[in-house]
Amino acid sequence: MILAIDQGTTGTTCLVFDESAQPIGRAYREFRQHFPRPGWVEHDAAEIWEVTRAVALEALDDAGVGGGDLRAIGITNQRETVCVWDRQTGEPLHHALVWQDRRTAQRCDALRSAGHEPLVRTRAGLVLDPYFSATKIEWLLEHVDGLRERAESGRAAFGTIDAWLVFKLTGEHRTDVTNASRTMLYDIRRGDWDDELLSLFGDVPRAALPEVLPSIGEFGTLRGGALGEDHDGVPVSGIAGDQQAALYGQGCLDPGLGKNTYGTGSFVLLNAGDTAPTAPAGLLATVAWGIGNRTIYALEAAIFITGAGVQWLRDGLGIIEAAAETEQLAGSLDSNDGVYFVPALTGLGSPHWDPYARGTIVGLTRGSTRAHLARATLEAIAFQTVDAVQAMEAASGQPLEELRADGGATVNRWLMQFQADVLGAPVAVAELTETTALGAALLAGVGIGAWTQADVARRDGEGARYEPRIGADERDALISQWRRAVERAGDWARE
């Protein structure tokens, strides 16, 4: 049996998979979100570890896993979020800075104005945006007393969430190539931390960064009863950032295959093969996964707020009690009645890359209801995916034939049908919504020789299929109005 730890932005999910890669145990818990200032988003890394450990033990118990039954652990994680901790005590030295955090937007502007974005695009495949890890690390080095000295001496350790969990589970300070490729400090072609980028972002000490390994292989073994003494010695044998894990779990192992994962944000990835692509404007080049000496790359479009928009309806506005209500509310209307919501609550990602955009609702009248807001939120998820896909189509010159979809929002049938309608292409929904966790389990299973790459490629994981039902004129009119709304949201928060 294999334990998959899926450490997400709002909670941790753990699944246990059997030898047929079928889930036989699961557990989930949310944890607190911290918003110390507008645009700032933090997590308590210690709480993340406590929740993750508890959920892992619950999933193992749910599956009836005893000592000796667990063969391997796979980890997938929210990417770009930065943790910093003391190697000796194992305690965090500051709250984790989350990928949604915008506090370094002006620093990114300054670096861009100084002409540094071409270097970042060429080496890291990314854009200068506070989304990525480098300016978060720089901010911590500047604002946490004594941190730079600890980091230079090797006592303080930086890492993305996967590295933090590996440290707590095994005592090792290691990450995988997919997570390293999201830091803006890693040369994706050369496969190493880049000295010029380390210097650019405030002289980040190499001694404080984790060792980078392929996505498949041993990262360390459980120790000290991290998941109970019965499981000490079990290897962590597969790691990938959540979107790369979902690409793997969807079986997109060949160039040209792509998927969208609907989570807190949404991420469209296209397998680009074993040559690092030159990312066109609005898109990212990233590492899909590493196997031995071979690195596979992907083109990516990152959408910051999708499921988090529904969460805002529930927690911020209080107009729904559960995300599932949005399906009925959206379907209760014959149209959107001209109401559009641009969920730029933490700026806009691909293809706009506007950290100063802010959430905007247009088209409201006295007749607008909570159903209109619910529908507009679901429509925004689909429209943002269209923007991302069309940027990829323009870059590749190839029309999308099919979108493979996974993640929690795929259970919303109204959304999936609307997604197919505005894409003008079929949407194939994964049978297992937790494809991210499946990808982590498959990586770990290949890592211990339980499965092969060919086994992963042969999996048939389609659970539902949605075909477009509207014509091109209606589709174009909807998209045109959406883009008018996006224009109004842009650059709002710039001082």
pLDDT in tens, 167-185: 999 999 999 999 999 999 9
DSSP state of 214: -
The reported pLDDT for the residue numbered 263 is 82
With 90 as the cut, is the pLDDT of residue 188 above it?
A: yes
Asked if residue 373 lies in contact with residue 314, where contact means CB atoms within 8 angstroms, the answer is: no
Q: Which residues contact 108 (CB under 8 A, 6 or more apart)?
A: 128, 129, 130, 135, 355
Written as six digits, the tokens of 467 are 């075909």
Q: Compute the distance between CA of residue 435 and CA of residue 102 in angstroms, rounded to an integer.
A: 28
User: How far apart are the two ends of the chain, measured CA to CA in Å?
Assistant: 53
Provide the pLDDT confidence category of residue 281 given band limits of 50, 70 and 90.
confident
360-362 and 266-273 strand pairing: unpaired
In angstroms, rounded to a whole number, what is the distance separating the alpha carbons of residues 56 and 52?
A: 6
Query: Tell me, what's the pLDDT at 276?
Result: 87
Measured distance CA(280)–CA(101) in Å, rounded: 25
Beta bridge partners of 464: 429
Asked if residues 127 and 133 have their Cβ atoms less than 8 Å apart, the reply is: no
* pLDDT at res. 157: 96
| In this structure, CATH architecture of domain 2-244 | 2-Layer Sandwich (3.30)
DSSP state of 362: E
Percent of the chain topping pLDDT 70: 99
Higher pLDDT, 311 or 258: 311
pLDDT reading at 191 higher than 90? yes
Average pLDDT, the chain: 92
pLDDT beyond 70 at 495: no
To the question of pTM greater than 0.85 for the whole model, the response is no
Q: Give per-residue pLDDT as tens, 116-134.
A: 999 999 999 998 989 899 9
pLDDT reading at 395 higher than 80:
no
More confident residue, 38 or 213: 213
Asked whether 126 and 118 are in contact (CB, 8 A), the reply is: no
pLDDT score, position 253? 87
Count how many residues are written for the chain.
Answer: 495
pLDDT digits 0-9 by tens, 60-93: 999 988 777 899 999 999 999 999 999 999 999 9
What are the structural domain ranges in the chain?
A: 2-244
